[in-house]
Amino acid sequence: MKVKKDTTESAEIVERMEFVIDKLERDELITVLRNRFMENSQRHKDIAWSEIEIRLNQNEDNIRVLSNMEITGGEPDVIGYDKESDKYIFCDCSKESPSGRRSLCYDAQAWESRKKNKPRNDAITMAEFLGIKMLSEDEYRQLQKTGDYDYKSSSWILTPKGIRELGGSLFGDKRYDTVFIYHNGAESYYASRGFRGIYLV
């Protein structure tokens, strides 16, 4: 499914992702990721950067996807290790919902069903284009254990089939030192709501 584009700044960001990343951009991204990793050790205790950098350099897709996350405001960082797949978990760790992924309805079905004032895109389609998976409720709660996120914004999360079939979708935020999960119509969209994703390296 192709990303729907408009003339907004966010659409221009998406278009930039189609270009090949050169060596300078690659090195700059790895430096940003390394510095963020070192400055936020509470997110990934007992995980060494050296192994992660080896994996980044072994697979060009890793660089491309993490660059996509960075360009759209996600500020990706490692938040854990998945034993089953033997991979490290990168997640969008920006304090607020990624700025380049807001004003999106939940999925393509919701986008198609809107007759007026359609948003520029939908969250599920954009996540697929970026190469990441939107966070589930459990993953969103796990992220919140590593810091305080979405105190002024909110983020769409993967919605169970039964809720989605009835027209609803879920989103989360954090207020009063507590994580809250709410519901909205899947067709709705807000300037303060984006989505977060994960990518395994």
DSSP-derived letter for residue 4 is: P
Distance CA 120, CA 13 (A): 13
Distance CA 151, CA 144 (A): 11
CB-CB contact of 154 with 132 (8 Å): no
pLDDT, position 3: 40
Q: Give this prediction's pTM.
A: 0.88
Rounded alpha-carbon distances, angstroms, from residue 128 to 3, 85, 179, 190, 192: 9, 20, 26, 20, 21
Distance CA 57, CA 67 (A): 13
**How long is the chain?**
201
pLDDT tens for the chain, 201 residues: list them: 344 444 344 445 454 445 567 788 899 999 999 999 999 999 999 999 999 999 998 888 999 999 999 999 999 999 999 999 999 999 999 999 999 999 999 999 999 999 899 999 999 999 999 999 999 999 999 999 999 999 999 999 999 999 999 999 999 999 999 999 999 999 999 999 999 999 999
pLDDT, position 118: 93
Q: Which residues contact 178 (CB under 8 A, 6 or more apart)?
A: none
Amino acid at residue number 67: S
pLDDT, position 11: 47
pLDDT, position 20: 64
DSSP-derived letter for residue 55 is: H
Distance CA 158, CA 43 (A): 22
Distance CA 126, CA 163 (A): 21
Facing residues of 154 across strands?
193
Distance CA 28, CA 55 (A): 16
CB-CB contact of 80 with 89 (8 Å): yes
pLDDT, position 8: 43
Distance CA 51, CA 107 (A): 36
CB-CB contact of 132 with 158 (8 Å): no
Q: Which tokens go with 90?
A: 């990168």
- Closest among 158, 152, 187 to 171, alpha carbons compared: 158
